[in-house]
Amino acid sequence: MAEESPHVPGGLRTRGRRLWEAVTTVYVLTPAELSVLTECCRTSDELNRLQLAVRRLPELMVAGSTGQPKAHPLLEEVRRHRVLLERLCAGLNLPDETSEIGLRGSSRHAQKAASARWGRRDAKGAAHGDVEAAAGV
């Protein structure tokens, strides 16, 4: 019997629903991973709304407290949401389909650990290879 996809969380908009479907139709996630995915989807929806609001701004610069020009505060929120979304998605640790060894491009910690592990020299001084070579990069 085929496993059923988890139900889409309530309140998601188009972009969040698309992300949910794209992940849950391919991967079977644990309850903890589903919670992270839910936050990814909500953050994606929020990011989309912020980007739409930025597009409607008449100017990207506003006057600061002393009258100096400064970037509109929505620009900083867009940046923060992008960083948050990237971190949440990296937290899912889904395999990267373009890599033979399954390391995500944004998982610097995993790449460093693998490089340290595979880059060690054995007793004869021969290198065991590095992650980029194993991945074909």
Tokens 């309530």: give the residue.
Answer: 10
| pTM reported for the whole predicted model | 0.67
36 vs 117, higher pLDDT: 36
pLDDT of residue 132: 31
* Tokens read off for 34: 């589903």
Residues 55 and 88 in one domain: yes
Domain of residue 113 covers 107-137
Residues 91 and 123 in one domain: no
Share of the chain above pLDDT 90, in %: 64
Tell me the per-residue pLDDT of 83-111, one tens digit each, with 9 for 90 and over.
999 999 999 988 876 554 444 444 455 55
Average pLDDT, the chain: 79
> Per this entry, what is the length of the chain?
137
Does residue 101 belong to any structural domain of this protein?
A: no
DSSP annotation string for 81-115: HHHHHHHHHHHHTPPPTT-TT---TT-HHHHHHHH
Residues 16 and 62 in one domain: yes
Report how far residue 55's alpha carbon sits from residue 53's, in angstroms, rounded to the nearest whole number. 5
Query: How many domains does the structure of the chain reveal?
Result: 2
Residues 90 and 117 in one domain: no
Does residue 16 belong to any structural domain of this protein?
A: yes
Does residue 102 belong to any structural domain of this protein?
A: no
